[in-house]
Amino acid sequence: MNATTAKKYICVNCGYIYDPELGDPMNNIPPGTAFESLPKEWVCPICYAMQDMFDPLS
């Protein structure tokens, strides 16, 4: 995993942080999946916000 794929993203609606190292196993997203590579149907597992509601974390 390189620097860009390791970038975390935060849901601006609820504050959930998507960490590519962890993925989202509850929703079939294996660890190591970059945010940019998530299937477009993937939504925030906490509040169901869509991906355009995610902001890159600094």
Partner 1 sequence: MKPSVASLYQAVELKQDVGPLLVGERTNANGSKKFRDRLLENDYQACLAIGQEQEASGAHVLDLCAAYAGRDELADMLELVRLFSSSIKIPLMIDSTTPACIGECLKIYPGRAIVNSINLEDGGVNIRKVCPMLKTYGAAVVALTINARGMAMTADDKVATAREIYDIAVGEFGLRPQDLMFDALTFTIGAGDETLRDAAVQTLNAIKRIKAEMPGVMTILGVSNISFGLAPHSRKVLNSVFLHEAVQAGLDAAIIDAGKVLPLSKISPEDLELSLDLLYDRVKDPLKSPLMRFIEHYQAHVPETAADEAATRARRPEQIMFDLIVDGDKDGFEDTLSILLQRRSALAIINDILVPAMRHVGELFGRGDILLPFVLKSAEVMKLSVTYLEPHMEKVEAAHVTKILLATVQGDVHDIGKNLVDIILSNNGYKVYNIGIKMPAETIIEKARELKVDLVGLSGLLVKSAIVMKESMPLYQEAGLGVPILLGGAALTPKFVAQECVPGYNHPVVYCSDAFAGLKAVRDFEAGTLKTTTWDLQVQGEKLKPGLKNIEVVRTHPVPQPPFLGSRVVTDIDPTPLFSYINEQALFRGRWGYRRAKQTAEAYDQLIANEVRPLYAEFKRRAIQDGLVRPQAAYGYFRCHSEGDVLHVQDGDATHLFPFPRQAEPPHLCITDFFRTPAEGGDIVAFFVVTIGPEIDKATHALYDANKYHDYLMLHGFSVELTDAFAEYWHQVMRRELGIGGAEPENLTGFVNQAYQGSRYGFGYPACPDLDAHKAVFAMLKPERIGVTLTDGMEMVPEQTTSAIVAHHPQAKYFAV
Q: Under the rule (CB under 8 A), what is the footprint of partner 1? A: 10-17, 24-29, 39-43, 46, 48, 53, 55-56, 58
Half-sphere exposure of 19 (CA within 13 A, CB side): 4
To partner 1, the closest distance from the beta carbon of 33 in angstroms equals 12
Of the two residues 6 and 14, which places its CB atom closer to partner 1 in the complex? 14
Half-sphere exposure of 44 (CA within 13 A, CB side): 19
Asked if residue 39 lies in contact with residue 54, where contact means CB atoms within 8 angstroms, the answer is: no
To partner 1, the closest distance from the beta carbon of 41 in angstroms equals 4
